[in-house]
Structure 1
Amino acid sequence: MSQFTVSGTFEARDGQQAFERSVEAENESVAEEHVLSQFGAEHNLKRTQIEISEVTAA
Structure 2
Amino acid sequence: MSQFTVTGRFKSRDEYAAFETTIEAENERVDREHVLSQLGSRHGLKRTQIELDEVTQQ
- Which residue in 1 is equivalent to 2:50? 50
Q: Find the aligned partners of 1:56 and 1:9 in 2 and give their Cα distance.
A: 16
Structure 1, gaps ≥5 residues long: none
Counterpart of 2:24, as a letter, is E
- Which residue in 1 is equivalent to 2:21? 21
Q: Find the aligned partners of 2:33 and 2:6 in 1 and give their Cα distance.
A: 10
Q: Deviations over 1:5-40 (max 9, x none)?
A: 011010002401000000000011111000000001
Structure 2, gaps ≥5 residues long: none
List, as ranges, runs of 4+ consecutive aligned residues in structure 1 with deviation greater than 2 Å: none
Percent sequence identity over matched residues?
64
The alignment yields a C-alpha RMSD, in angstroms, of 0.7
State whether structure 2 residue 3 is matched by structure 1 residue 3: yes
Residues 27-42 of structure 1: pairs in structure 2 closer than 5 A: 27-42=27-42
Counterpart of 1:40, as a letter, is G
| TM-score normalised to structure 2 length | 0.95
